[in-house]
A and B are shown apart, each in its own frame.
Chain A
Amino acid sequence: MFQYIVKRLLSSVGVILIIITASFFVMKVAPGGPFDADRKLPDEVKRNIEAKYHLDKPLWEQYLRQMDSIVLKGDFGPSMKYPDRTVNEILAEGLPVSLVLGFQAMIVAVMLGLSAGLIAGLRQNRWEDYGAMTTAMAGVSIPNFVLAPLLIVLFAIKLRWFDAAGWNGLEKGIWGHFKSSLLPSLTLGVYYAAYIARLTRSGMLEIIRQDYIRTARAKGLSETVVVARHAIKGAVIPVVSFLGPAFAGMLTGSVVIEKIFNIPGLGTHFVASAFNRDYPLVLGTIVLYSALLVVLNLIVDVLYTVLDPRVSYD
């Protein structure tokens, strides 16, 4: 197991290096540079700025410098769009916000999804099943850029319960935080909740017909115990395998939500930095996202072995 994890981590490092290299050259191919603006800079001034960021050096030297500072020092350098700030700083500001948003969305997704899925699975072909599954279907189908404005109009503008946009950390208290983060978490989580509900339901339907459940019932255990102790564990395996990609999806997919709710996470930088040709920031967000994806996938694979004794990597 340990060996397996080490092996995976090592290969991940390789993957990330390839990603950095590919992104570096792809972004250099894109026309235009960070210091092109509608007011053209005098040539001498432009030369000065480019020298400051080593953009006047040959491409291979820029690449080596960048690799050197990223790999050896973990430093992405100063942002070219926001020269007062370093990329590391910008990422350090944005990442926690995206993580908190993703985590809250995850809680929403798991809570709603699991309960709806379990109810539907246990009450197959009854009204509870149809109700839960129709709702889930709606959750999957309504795009978040439709749901979000509806929630904003109802809960922020009409009822004034929550903020229409913006993000408060805990400095404004727990309520202040939830006031700004509940609607985005909900919007982001609902799609995954619906998905989890469907997975849980089918998992439940499969498990509940297994011999060992019949055995448990035959032993005279109450239905609650049968479900809680024996069925759920098996039923959620497909859900767990979905959680890793889901969490990654919530982190990377929050770009749209971050825009609608104006949340200062990573997503906004991910898109804007490319348009601004802010090379260091582009690399920074790409590396960070790929590292997150790699790690999340690894965690899921490890979790498999814990939940399903049939899976083993040794």
Chain B
Amino acid sequence: MKHTATRRAVLGLLALFFAACGDKPSDTPAPSSGAAPGSKAQGAKAPATEAGQAREEKDARVFHRSLGEPEYLDPNLISESEGGQVCHDTFEGLFQYGPNHKEWLPGVAETMETSPDGLTVTFKLRQNAKWSDGQPVTARDFEYSWKRTLDPKTASRYASFLWVLQGGKEYNESKEGPDRDKLRDAVGVKATDDYTLQVKLVGPIPYFQQLTAFYTMAPVPKHVIDKHGDQWARPENIVSNGPWKVTEWKSQQHIIAVKNEHYWDKDKIPFDKVVFHITQENQPAHNMYLAGQLDYLESKVPESVLPRYLKEKNPELKSSPYLGVYYYYINTAKPPFNDAKVRQALSLAIDKEKIGKFVVKGGQEAATSIVHPKLEELGYKPAKGSEYDPDQARKLLAEAGFPEGKGFPRFQISYNTLEGHKLIAEFIQQEWKNNLGIECDLDNMEWKVLLKKLNAKEYMVSRGAWIGDYLDPMTFLDLWEGPNSNNHTNWDHPEFNRLIADARKEADPNKRFDLLRQAEELFAKELPALPIYFYVKHDMVKPWLKGYQSHLQGIHPSRFFTIAQ
């Protein structure tokens, strides 16, 4: 277009003019941490929430909360927290999550009985549980659901959760053919009558009760799936058994769930309607929260405002430890990273305390080992790896043959493109340079590209993270077993593998924790990945919303909230 040149000139002049004017006087500290420089909405200098602001919704029986766009709402298929959040409000498993991570409430099951060897679990189901279309929820719905999850045709991402069932893995990995039906029948879950479910496990699984609350193991209505096929979970067809049922899903706008009149405990349902407002980005969700459109902002607190809220001790901000760990994968097949001393040196040379305080600025706790420290509440003693010690790091590096970093090959830190990851990578790059005298380059790429590199093990050092699936050290440890498909490090340690295998068979909880701790200590010594920090989850809760409690897994079902107006 012919005007382009003029326009550029005009733009340039004005840019100069505005630059000369300088920033508008700002009472906020520079939002240096999170949001990317080009981050669209960063300019929004959100004022601290003021007292006396009004709620947009006048009805106290309607709850407005934030959400990201789910992929789908079929419990057997959900593999991300967005779908999970909706599912926790609309479906109910044998047990259900409590208001905090220490409490578990009975769901469809009234009792659970475990045999002394821990291999057989029998659930007695309540007889008044109903689907939202009035049909009874029976043990057969659970048997159907679990086998459906394991069916290779269903292609559930979380099917491996059900590998704890006898024959689960075999059926899930079976090839097309006549054997598949036999394998299906051999899976260790059986409805012995309408209200009794008998489960055979591959080993004693002390966290099995927790798993039954997880969305993958929720029941699904066979009669509805038979009728609608893979369209059954669309809002116009879906039938669920939780306190609410989804009636409307407008992509990128909202999901509306209304009270399930057939729910067995319907008198305790605090809201007639739950509205999940869908936003992709944090900033619009936060703006909606500030404008009173949301009662509850779940984890979508923009990094640009977080340090200020933390500093001001904003009472609406709720920060709690979250069952996740941020780490750097090391490709242990590539020299010099095949030497555990090198990996130790790399870990010792990073002052991880500084990352939580000055780099990501969300109050994250430095990690020296891999199991979340909060799991000590279970009676487990998480291992302590070594802390920041640059002298020791230099010593180890010299022992490995690289005194003062001399001769250490230049390598890359790979990470998926995100401002937060970049800042951490830059910090670590500096630490290694200053403390060890070794040089590395930063290599950022799109998430899918990084995944491909990790799976093909074509990297040297890469950013990674793991969110625990259940409250047990195992969720952070079996990841590092040699053959685990999520272990991208080429680390295959026979002793570690043995400890994990033994722990799987151990029925005595204390001995089991002991084995797991030995495994963790081995991990902390060998460091196939360098733990960096443990996650923190930040939520915002309006003053009129009551009932919020911190939950290590970040699960906050709507049923534990009420609105006081």
B-contacting residues of A (Cβ < 8 Å)? 30-33, 36-42, 44-46, 48-49, 52, 81-85, 90, 93-94, 137-138, 140-141, 145-146, 148-150, 152-153, 156-158, 160, 163-167, 195, 245, 256, 259-264, 268, 272, 275, 277
Among A31, A33, A165, A268, residue most surrounded by chain B Cβ atoms (within 10 Å): A165
Within 8 A of A (CB), among B284-330: 284-285, 287-288, 290-293
Give the residue name and chain of the A residue nearest to B159 (CB).
A45
Does B401 make an interface contact (CB < 8 A)?
Answer: no
Does B252 make an interface contact (CB < 8 A)?
Answer: yes
How many residues does chain B have at the interface if contact means C-beta atoms less than 8 Å apart? 68
Contact status B250-A45, CB under 8 Å:
no
Contact of B448 among A33, A46, A145 (CB under 8 A): A33
Smallest Cβ distance from B198 to chain A, in angstroms?
26
Smallest Cβ distance from A237 to chain B, in angstroms?
15
- Listed from nearest, the 9 A-B pairs whose CB atoms lie closest are A32-B448, A264-B252, A149-B44, A165-B284, A141-B14, A164-B287, A164-B291, A262-B284, A149-B43
Task: Specify which chain B residues have a CB less than 8 angstroms from the CB of A49 in the assembled complex.
Answer: 155
Contact status B18-A158, CB under 8 Å:
no
Contact status A145-B41, CB under 8 Å:
yes
Q: In whole angstroms, how far apart are the Cα atoms of A146 and B42 in the complex?
A: 8
Q: In whole angstroms, how far apart are the Cα atoms of A40 and B488 in the complex?
A: 10
For this complex, 6 residue pairs linking A to B, each with C-beta atoms less than 8 Å apart, are: A37-B451, A93-B251, A160-B54, A164-B284, A262-B285, A277-B448
Q: In whole angstroms, how far apart are the Cα atoms of A261 and B285 in the complex?
A: 9
Known: A157-B46, A261-B284. A166 touches B234 (CB 8 A): no
Contact of B10 among A93, A140, A158 (CB under 8 A): A140
Task: Specify which chain B residues have a CB less than 8 angstroms from the CB of A148 in the assembled complex.
Answer: 40-41, 43
Main secondary structure of the interface of B (DSSP, over half): loop
Contact status A157-B47, CB under 8 Å:
yes
Does B156 make an interface contact (CB < 8 A)?
Answer: yes
Known: A40-B486, A277-B448. A156 touches B291 (CB 8 A): yes
Smallest Cβ distance from B64 to chain A, in angstroms?
11
Does B196 make an interface contact (CB < 8 A)?
Answer: no
Known: A37-B451, A83-B72. A141 touches B10 (CB 8 A): yes
Q: In whole angstroms, how far apart are the Cα atoms of A163 and B159 in the complex?
A: 41
Known: A157-B291, A160-B292. A37 touches B79 (CB 8 A): yes
Give the residue name and chain of the B residue nearest to A165 (CB).
B284
Give the residue name and chain of the A residue nearest to B488 (CB).
A40
Within 8 A of A (CB), among B434-485: 446-449, 451-452, 455, 465, 485
Smallest Cβ distance from A243 to chain B, in angstroms?
13
Smallest Cβ distance from B222 to chain A, in angstroms?
18
Q: In whole angstroms, how far apart are the Cα atoms of A149 and B41 in the complex?
A: 6
Contact of B40 among A93, A260, A272 (CB under 8 A): A260
Does B280 make an interface contact (CB < 8 A)?
Answer: yes
A-contacting residues of B (Cβ < 8 Å)? 1, 3, 7, 10-11, 14-15, 18, 40-47, 54, 71-74, 77, 79, 152-153, 155-160, 172-175, 230-231, 233-234, 250-254, 277-281, 283-285, 287-288, 290-293, 446-449, 451-452, 455, 465, 485-486
Contact status B157-A84, CB under 8 Å:
no
Contact status A275-B446, CB under 8 Å:
yes
Task: Specify which chain A residues have a CB less than 8 angstroms from the CB of B290 in the assembled complex.
Answer: 157, 164
Contact status A45-B45, CB under 8 Å:
no
Known: A145-B41, A260-B41, A262-B279. A38 touches B284 (CB 8 A): no
Contact status A32-B44, CB under 8 Å:
no
Known: A81-B71, A149-B44, A260-B284. A52 touches B251 (CB 8 A): no
Known: A141-B10, A259-B40, A262-B280. A166 touches B72 (CB 8 A): no
Q: In whole angstroms, how far apart are the Cα atoms of A52 and B54 in the complex?
A: 50
Q: In whole angstroms, how far apart are the Cα atoms of A156 and B283 in the complex?
A: 14
Known: A42-B173, A166-B293. A32 touches B449 (CB 8 A): yes
Give the residue name and chain of the B residue nearest to A261 (CB).
B284
Contact of A85 among B251, B285, B452, B465 (CB under 8 A): B251
Give the residue name and chain of the A residue nearest to B290 (CB).
A157
Task: Specify which chain B residues have a CB less than 8 angstroms from the CB of A42 in the assembled complex.
Answer: 159-160, 172-173, 485
Task: Specify which chain B residues have a CB less than 8 angstroms from the CB of A245 in the assembled complex.
Answer: 1
Contact status B152-A48, CB under 8 Å:
yes
